[in-house]
Amino acid sequence: MMLGLLLAHAGVEVLVLEKHADFLRDFRGDTIHPSTLEVMHELGLLEDFLKLPHQKVHQLTVQIGDVTVPFADFTHLPTRCGFIAFLPQWDFLNFLAEQAARYPTFKLRMRAEVVGLLEERGGVVGVEVGAPEGRLEVRAKLVVGADGRHSVVRQKAKLPVEELGAPMDVLWFRISRRPEDSPAVMGRFQAGRVFVMLNRGDYWQCGYVIPKGTLEEIRREGLPAFRDGVADLAPFVRDRVADIRSWDDVKLLTVLVDRLTTWYRPGLLCIGDAAHAMSPVGGVGINLAIQDAVATANLLAAPLRDGTLSVDHLLRVQRRRLPATRIVQRFQIVIQNRIVTRVLGSRGQTLAVPWALRLFERFPLLRRIPARVVGVGVRPEHVRIPV
């Protein structure tokens, strides 16, 4: 959607296809980081964007056992917004769609599911679409696969994937929030368990990290035992765990970390999770995808507009975005393997606060480092599309 907005702004004819009738999917990435807010400012949309109902998070904290440590402080970042904005992803998508609709070259079609690729002379020239009125063919100079971790586009294109592994999955659910609750985003580590609570205004969006493949075992232990485990991790919501009424209220996020070795074919390019599935560690996935979109628009708007697009232009997108992708995924894998896996395997033990983390408590200046990594990223992109 961001790429469609940017290309339409540059005068390129764009059609965005969305297979659902609306954007109302819960437990998607809802963290809009300072880097993305900076892009909104560069587009002149920040003021209107911040009128949407959202929550501002200025710092992240980590709780290990009974000790709470401030970990990241976004207030000192060299950006217009020194905070993470939390808002439902459907509101963000609707906002982008409304802004893009102002351009005559932008079209959005809902209930249009890509089911195949149109190929001629070794290149991709469009897509096959399943729609209410039947099978359609849509032809285009360029097909961009931005259809997520289980991308149909990259599967049909037979692009090679490098699996990087993920030892965990996440169970997402809601618990009501009260005005007296802390406003901070909290990561909680206890022996054998990892828990994340995201402030969503009138409720907490909760992520319960489990070893990969253990969901059925947790279900066999029963919902009361699961509720008790949540209450142990966050005692202040003990009287609210009944909000988890059934297993239908608990959604499984199967964590994947992978990336394409080649992001493109003639006439086709993958970006975002379709090119590189990210771990939820750091909540950077949506923001890295938007950086991909900005870089893609910067590099491809002119050749798309004047009809000179070549495979070399697509290669430039991959070369531009691959280093940042590798660094972020490497960081996520280190966190997964050295911290999350160790904590999940420490059931029955006593967790101590690592000395390195204690430094963040004693020296507030250090909190700017993870804030920069999470909030701005390795290679932030800025809107430079030719108009």
Q: Which of 203, 197, 245 is nearest to 224 (CA)?
A: 245
Confidence of residue 83 (pLDDT cuts 50, 70, 90): very high
How many Cα atoms occupy the beta-carbon half-sphere of 273 within 13 Å? 20
Give 223-251 pLDDT, tens digit per residue: 999 999 999 888 899 999 999 999 999 99
- Dihedral of CA atoms 169, 174, 179, 180 in degrees, nearest 10, equals -50
What pLDDT score was predicted for residue 166? 87
| Residues 166, 41 contacting (CB under 8 angstroms) | no
Position with higher pLDDT, 344 vs 215: 215
- Plot region of 77 (φ>0 → left; ψ -120 to 50 → alpha; else → beta): beta
Query: 17-26, 57-66, 170-179, 293-302: lowest mean pLDDT where?
Result: 57-66
Average pLDDT over residues 70-92: 92
pLDDT class of 265 with cuts at 50, 70, 90: very high
CA gap 367, 369 in Å, rounded: 5
Reading the block at residue 167, the tokens are 């030892």
* Whether the predicted pLDDT of 27 surpasses 60: no
Cβ contacts of residue 205 below 8 Å, gap of 6+?
A: 27, 30, 172, 174, 197, 198
With contact defined as beta carbons under 8 Å apart, do 40 and 52 qualify?
no
User: What whole-number percentage of the chain has pLDDT above 90?
Assistant: 67
pLDDT at 299: 97
Q: Taking residues 29-33, what's their average pLDDT?
A: 83
pLDDT band, residue 165 (cuts 50/70/90): confident
Q: How would residue 85 be classed by pLDDT, with cut points 50, 70 and 90?
A: very high
Which of 133-147, 182-196, 266-280, 317-331 comes out lowest in average pLDDT? 182-196
* pLDDT the model gives residue 28: 65
Average pLDDT over residues 182-202: 79
The predicted pLDDT at position 314 comes to 98
pLDDT for 34 = 96
- Per-residue confidence (pLDDT) for residue 29, from 0 to 100: 66
Is pLDDT of 365 > 70?
A: yes
Tell whether the model's pLDDT for residue 184 goes beyond 80.
no
Give pLDDT tens digits for 128-148: 999 999 999 999 999 999 999
- Among 289, 255, 288, 274, which residue's Cα sits nearest to residue 157? 274
pLDDT at 276: 97
Structure-model confidence comparison of residues 61 and 322, the more confident one: 322
Q: What residues contact 120, with CB distance under 8 A and at least 6 apart?
A: none
- Of residues 67 and 257, more confidently modeled: 257
Give the C-alpha separation, 78 to 80, whole Å. 7
Average pLDDT over residues 273-291: 91
